[in-house]
């Protein structure tokens, strides 16, 4: 019956990360022992002090619609967070709370893009960017990067990608899927290019800001000339392990925030009230409270890099943030393993699922067909066993 569906939905791809997670779940349901390294989701429980705040909110009857753009005291907490962590001053009229950073991104696309507007996506990029841009009738313009440049776009590449139709640049740092972190000098280099193009806006997706092993997160909005044209996207899914509670937010010029609020007012009426109340507790807490999770991710990064380094044909960068490794596995293309031809990254991801019972995600979904993405937001035992199985299936 897809002919009865809109062209819009028929043209959209299914989220590859969520699809792989669903497939892993299905196989597990059939009794298969699948290790899921496909979904970027912390395996920690939400810290107790955040849970307590949610329980209090229920007892205090936070059961009505919140203001569309979020509770004022939550926006005040977000404003303090931006100042504390990013050196950014956002007033309450510059902040919009949404149902996850994913919705924050969708709001921005819907309010900023006209048909045919180009959006530069340094590839690899997070899986949903291209479909969100296309949904808003924008045109994703991929700028390929490889392991030799640590999967980062240079200022020269940005300059070369700009056309009269360029409306926006979207990127994440720390990056999902590569784990790469742009340095302040690199961000300044990009800002310098954009100085000559005052009509280009930037979406800076900083959802992994705290999961940064080099320390000292830098926001592009804090670079000269960037504040007035940057939408800084963040949320509590990753650093606070609150994925299912669905709270994301933006700091942006007030006119963009206002437009996002207008859009959201017709689409969702605003984010979940209880989760908003809990987010105040999360953001106001000292960062030391979540440090144990960051330290664990750091240890797991070191472990998985060491273990994957033993598999021939895996070329690895050293991810400095987020919780993914993104090995270039193109050495396998053209080979046949256990009778199965491996022509591309999707074949290899499928091979690892079938032969090693390990779920990963093909790099194609992130705009880089030479790589696969492996999430190490899993226990040390799972990581060890997963890599052991992968090595066995590949050698």
Task: Select the binding partner of residue 274 from ligand PMP, ligand GLU, none (C-beta < 5 to 8 A, by kind).
Answer: none
Task: Select the binding partner of residue 145 from ligand GLU, ligand PMP, none (C-beta < 5 to 8 A, by kind).
Answer: none
Task: Select the binding partner of residue 15 from ligand GLU, ligand PMP, none (C-beta < 5 to 8 A, by kind).
Answer: ligand GLU
Q: Nearer Cβ to ligand GLU, position 244 or 312?
A: 244
Helices assigned H by DSSP within the chain: 7-10, 16-29, 48-59, 72-86, 100-112, 128-135, 155-161, 184-195, 254-267, 273-284, 291-308, 345-356, 380-394
Please identify which residue in 24, 34, 40, 182 interacts with ligand GLU, judged by CB under 6 A.
40
- Would you say 133 and 291 are in contact if contact means Cβ atoms under 8 Å apart? no
Residue labelled with tokens 């100085």: 195
Which residues have CB under 8 Å from 149's CB, separation 6+? none
Q: Nearer Cβ to ligand GLU, position 39 or 372?
A: 39
Neighbours of 303 (CB within 10 A): 15
For ligand GLU, what does the binding mask look like between residues 98 and 127, x meaning CB under 6 A? ----x------------------------x
- Would you say 372 and 345 are in contact if contact means Cβ atoms under 8 Å apart? yes
Q: Quick check: 102 binds ligand PMP (CB under 6 A)?
A: yes
CA separation, residue 393 to residues 303, 352, 386 (Å)? 20, 7, 11
- Would you say 112 and 167 are in contact if contact means Cβ atoms under 8 Å apart? yes
Backbone angles phi, psi at 322, to 5 degrees: 55, -160
Using CB under 6 A, count the residues that bind ligand GLU: 10
Q: How far is the CB of 13 from ligand GLU (least distance, A)?
A: 12
- Would you say 318 and 337 are in contact if contact means Cβ atoms under 8 Å apart? no
Q: How far is the CB of 337 from ligand PMP (least distance, A)?
A: 30
For ligand GLU, what does the binding mask look like between residues 84 and 103, x meaning CB under 6 A? ------------------x-
For ligand GLU, what does the binding mask look like between residues 170 and 199, x meaning CB under 6 A? ------x-----------------------
Q: What is the DSSP code (8-state) at residue 164? A: T
Residue labelled with tokens 């017709």: 266
Q: Quick check: 237 binds ligand PMP (CB under 6 A)?
A: yes
Closest-by-Cβ residue to ligand PMP is 100
Q: Quick check: 130 binds ligand PMP (CB under 6 A)?
A: no
Please identify which residue in 21, 34, 40, 323 interacts with ligand PMP, judged by CB under 6 A.
40
Task: Say how many residues make up the chain.
Answer: 395
Q: Quick check: 321 binds ligand PMP (CB under 6 A)?
A: no
Distance, CA of 380 to CA of 289 (rounded, Å): 21
Backbone angles phi, psi at 187, to 5 degrees: -65, -40
Q: How far is the CB of 311 from ligand GLU (least distance, A)?
A: 22
Q: Quick check: 17 binds ligand GLU (CB under 6 A)?
A: yes
What three-state secondary structure class fits 364?
A: helix
HSE-CB at 115 with a 13 A cutoff on CA atoms is: 0
Q: Quick check: 126 binds ligand PMP (CB under 6 A)?
A: yes
Task: Select the binding partner of residue 209 from ligand PMP, ligand GLU, none (C-beta < 5 to 8 A, by kind).
Answer: none
Alpha-carbon torsion (311, 317, 321, 325), positive or negative: negative
Q: Quick check: 368 binds ligand PMP (CB under 6 A)?
A: no
Q: Nearer Cβ to ligand PMP, position 176 or 360?
A: 176
- Would you say 194 and 153 are in contact if contact means Cβ atoms under 8 Å apart? no
Q: Quick check: 207 binds ligand PMP (CB under 6 A)?
A: yes
Neighbours of 301 (CB within 10 A): 23
Please identify which residue in 205, 209, 320, 364 interacts with ligand PMP, judged by CB under 6 A.
205
Q: How far is the CB of 236 from ligand PMP (least distance, A)?
A: 7
Binding site for ligand GLU (CB under 6 A): 15, 17-18, 39-41, 102, 127-128, 176
Site for ligand PMP, rule CB under 6 A: 40, 100-102, 126, 172, 176, 205, 207, 235, 237, 243, 248
């Amino acid at each position: 019956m897809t002919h009865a569906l809109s062209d819009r939905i028929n043209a959209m791809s299914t989220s590859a990360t969520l699809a792989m997670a669903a497939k892993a779940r299905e196989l597990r349901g059939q009794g298969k022992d699948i290790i899921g390294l496909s979904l970027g989701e912390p395996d920690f429980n939400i810290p107790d002090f955040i849970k307590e705040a949610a329980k209090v909110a229920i007892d205090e009857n936070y059961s009505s619609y919140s203001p569309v753009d979020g509770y004022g005291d939550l926006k005040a907490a977000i404003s303090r967070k931006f100042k504390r962590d990013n050196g950014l001053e956002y007033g309450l009229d510059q902040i919009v709370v949404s149902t996850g950073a994913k919705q924050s991104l969708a709001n921005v696309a819907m309010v900023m893009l006209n048909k045919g507007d180009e959006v530069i996506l340094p590839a690899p990029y997070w899986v949903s960017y291209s479909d969100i841009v296309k949904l808003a009738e924008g045109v994703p313009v991929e700028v390929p990067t490889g392991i030799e440049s640590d999967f980062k776009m240079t200022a020269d590449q940005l300059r070369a990608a700009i056309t009269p139709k360029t409306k926006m640049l979207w990127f994440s740092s720390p990056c999902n899927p590569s784990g790469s972190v742009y340095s302040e000098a690199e961000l300044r280099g990009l800002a310098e290019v954009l100085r000559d193009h005052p009509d280009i806006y930037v979406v800076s997706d900083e959802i992994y800001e705290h999961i940064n092993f080099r320390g000292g997160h830098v926001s592009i909005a804090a670079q000269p000339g960037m504040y007035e044209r940057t939408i800084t996207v963040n949320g509590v899914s990753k650093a606070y392990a609150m994925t299912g509670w669905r709270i994301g937010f933006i700091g942006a010029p007030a006119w963009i925030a206002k437009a996002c609020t207008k859009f959201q007012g017709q689409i969702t009426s605003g984010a979940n009230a209880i989760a908003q109340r809990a987010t105040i507790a999360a953001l106001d807490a000292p960062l030391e409270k979540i440090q144990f999770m960051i330290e664990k991710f750091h240890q797991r990064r070191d472990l998985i890099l060491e273990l994957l380094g033993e598999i021939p044909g895996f070329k690895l960068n050293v991810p400095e943030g987020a919780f993914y490794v993104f090995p270039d596995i193109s050495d396998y293309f053209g080979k046949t393993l256990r009778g199965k031809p491996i022509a591309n990254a999707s074949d290899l991801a499928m091979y690892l699922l079938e032969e090693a019972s390990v779920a990963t995600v093909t790099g194609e979904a992130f705009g880089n067909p030479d790589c696969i993405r492996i999430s190490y937001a899993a226990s040390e035992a799972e990581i060890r066993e997963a890599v052991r199985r992968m090595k066995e299936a590949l050698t």
